[in-house]
Structure 1
Amino acid sequence: MKRLIFVTLFWGVMSTAMAFNSSPEERRDSIIILLGKKTRIAIQTTDKAELQALRNYDLNALVNRVIEIQEKTDARAGKDTSFVMNGDTVLVRDNQVTIKDTERGESTFSIRIGGKDGDVSSGDSTSNSQPRVYKRKRTSSEWYFDLGLDNYLTGDGKFPEQNLNYALRPLGSRYVAISHIYKTRIGGSRSPLSLTYGLEASFYNYMFDSNTRIEKGATSAEFVEVMDGANAKDLKKSKLTAIYASIPVMPVLQFGHSRRSFRFGVGGFVGYRLHSYSKIKDSDGKKDHETSNFYLNNVRYGVQALVGIRGIDLFFKYDLNPLFTEEHGPDLRSIAFGFRF
């Protein structure tokens, strides 16, 4: 019942956050010029100060040059054509004209010229529809898939010695997570800072390195050797799996606006255990599993970091609270690291 209440609250909080962030969009400043009833010119920019740059342009000359390009080139076919005016680069595609500041290497403002069919002409269109105004969303979202390794550290920050019965196989313990992450830009349209947050389902698979399995004892979690009569059974696999629902929150700095740019973030997370079980597989292929809480902490919280460049993201997570409840198991804190896709 407690688990159901938590999951309901979990989704409720995130639904509220999604509703709150579904509408904030940065509306560009724009000027719309109606030429008779047949042609419109829409001038769009990120802020009013940039509109002052229009004083440097002869709009007549600009429109005439665009018309020449439309008539003589393949601009109508979706191909880019460019020319230089007043030291700035003018890009033309279809009926979209973008003025690019050569010194700063970024767009200053764009001009959309068109009638019913977006033609640069005084055609016979009688449409009074407004030109499309493009907006850049302040909040966006994406699905992510995390794949990596997990382990745990002792209370003094070291890996357990391999002779201990709860030591893990370093390459056999796997971490998998699926998340839906929202990204809200903090500041203006050129700000590199964003706040990311969302929902995550994470799967920790702790693969033991010895012929032991975890069991829930009378007072604590126990790591016992699996026996076959008087002899120890040879196990191909023995693991503990714990599944959590989590809310990650992390400020991220991204220097650029594409997936090829460098990004870095440090934040935290809080989660709740949804399910846990142990599983063993012997050398004959026989399997056995047991479902229990194994005295695991229901709530987990910790810190996380992300670094990425050129479409490759690396993540790291560290639990600040112990894996097991106090005095009901060894003092261990989970870590996970790997790639985000």
Structure 2
Amino acid sequence: MNTITRLVVYLVISLTFATVHGQNKELDSIRKEKVDHKISLLEEDKAEIEEQEKGILKLKITKINKRLDNKEITAEEAENLKKEAAKVAALNIENRRAIIDQRIDLLKRNGYDAYQYRKYDSGDDGFVFRIGGGEDTNESFIYFGEKSKDKPRKYDRRTTEDIVFAFGLNNALIDGQDIDDSPYKVWGSGFMELGYAWKTRIFDNTNFWRIKYGFSFQWNKFDIKDNNYLVNTDGEISLQEFPSDISKAKFRTTNLVFPVHLEFGPSKKIEKKDYFRYSTYNKLKVGLGGYAGLNIGSMQKLKYKEDGNRIKDKQRGGFEVNEFVYGVSGYVALGDIALYVKYDLNPLFKDQVIDQNNISVGVRFDMD
């Protein structure tokens, strides 16, 4: 089995495993965890109700006694006011507990499909707890906070955002060489990408075409073969044999890039009374585009022995890496998991004996 075939098999297995065992199981687990957490909070609130109402009753009785001392009311009136305050406190305890019991019953019965429950408060500055949204609406799944900050649902949410995470294999395409002849190990070289992206629907009445854009940090690592390491000779970068046996020689670049992709694929339109959404949950998505940005760091890490001592040498900078980074990239996704490829159009080094361009193939997750 040649290297390319092994690479394809590895990626297919990774993608299949992540899809079957990760997506649905993790989503269900998150939903259940959030609902269970809210039920736990409500149980805690219920346990505190009696203490809260007793505290309020104590304050009321203190004020009544003060009015009695100031001869604003008679002893009989004071006693009646205290009895009325105690009656109100008892009813409040009973009603507030019943309200929380109903909320718990609703959560247990409806789970994450229940939309909105409000926490007990007598004024307008209380708290709101909302469960809703998720994959069908592209809304945040859960909100708990001040009522005034819970923004109403927009009728048409044209732009959404998500976190982008990708990882996989990394190498270099070199003029006149096959990938099998690369000076970098296939399985030891890898990449990772972490970023934030926005996605905007292009047309008013269809979600088939979207623009996806944002920023990402990319880490590209090369595991150098054959006891070689990178050497800068008067600004010219080349691979040379290390003077002694070397156990590890790795080179890494760090880039800040700004990707833009034209994404297309089917979606499901969900129409409600006061809003509508396009959902791409479990839909096929294709993204084609590119990126441009800056190299913000480079490092070579060497491990070897010298006079019987283990040496770890980290060399930062000085490798004449191209400061401006640009390339093409694309992905094919089912739901939030994609097969992802990116290729730097700029040579890795400013001045190198043979031009080499970074290429990465892996799995990409867009977690909205």
CA distance, structure 1, for counterparts of residue 326 and residue 212 of structure 2: 17
Residue number in structure 2 paired with 1:339: 363
Secondary structure of 1:136's aligned partner: coil
Give structure 2 stretches of 5+ with no counterpart: 1-104, 118-135, 138-150, 268-278
Cα distance change on mapping 1:133 and 1:316 into 2, 3 Å: closer
Cα distance change on mapping 1:135 and 1:212 into 2, 3 Å: same
Which is worse superposed, 315-324 or 185-194?
185-194
Residues 135-175 of structure 1: per-residue CA shift (max 9 Å, x gap): 2321111111111111011235732625xxxx000000010
CA distance, structure 2, for counterparts of residue 315 and residue 242 of structure 1: 19
Please state if 1:323 is matched with 2:334: no
Q: 1:236 aligns with which of 239, 247, 250?
A: 247
Q: What RMSD in Å do the two structures reach over aligned CA positions?
A: 3.0
Q: 1:222 aligns with which of 238, 252, 269?
A: 238
Secondary structure of 1:170's aligned partner: coil
- What is the number of residues matched between the two proteins? 214
Residue number in structure 1 paired with 2:320: 295
Q: 1:141 aligns with which of 150, 153, 161?
A: 161
CA distance, structure 2, for counterparts of residue 197 and residue 298 of structure 1: 21
TM-fit CA distance, 1:246: 0.3
1:152-171 superposed matches below 5 A:
152-156=172-176, 158-159=178-179, 161=181, 167-171=183-187
Which residue identity does 2:291 align to in structure 1?
Answer: F
Residues 294-338 of structure 1: per-residue CA shift (max 9 Å, x gap): 122111211100111143211100111211224x34211110010
Residue number in structure 2 paired with 1:260: 282
CA distance, structure 2, for counterparts of residue 160 and residue 325 of structure 1: 24
CA distance, structure 1, for counterparts of residue 320 and residue 354 of structure 2: 11
Which residue identity does 1:223 align to in structure 2?
Answer: L
1:99-138 superposed matches below 5 A:
134-138=154-158
CA distance, structure 1, for counterparts of residue 257 and residue 154 of structure 2: 35
Give structure 1 stretches of 5+ with no counterpart: 1-75, 81-91, 96-105, 108-130
Please tell me whether the aligned partners of residues 285 and 335 of structure 2 are also in contact (alpha carbons under 8 angstroms).
no
Residue number in structure 2 paired with 1:194: 210
Residue number in structure 2 paired with 1:181: 197
Which residue identity does 1:294 align to in structure 2?
Answer: F
1:2-81 superposed matches below 5 A:
77=106
Secondary structure of 1:240's aligned partner: strand
| Structure in which a larger fraction of residues adopt helix | 2
TM-score, normalised to structure 2, is 0.53
| Structure in which a larger fraction of residues adopt strand | 1
Secondary structure of 1:200's aligned partner: strand
Please tell me whether the aligned partners of residues 245 and 273 of structure 1 are also in contact (alpha carbons under 8 angstroms).
yes
Task: Give the % identical residues.
Answer: 24
TM-fit CA distance, 1:189: 5.0
CA distance, structure 2, for counterparts of residue 93 and residue 279 of structure 1: 53
Residue number in structure 2 paired with 1:59: none
TM-fit CA distance, 1:285: 4.9
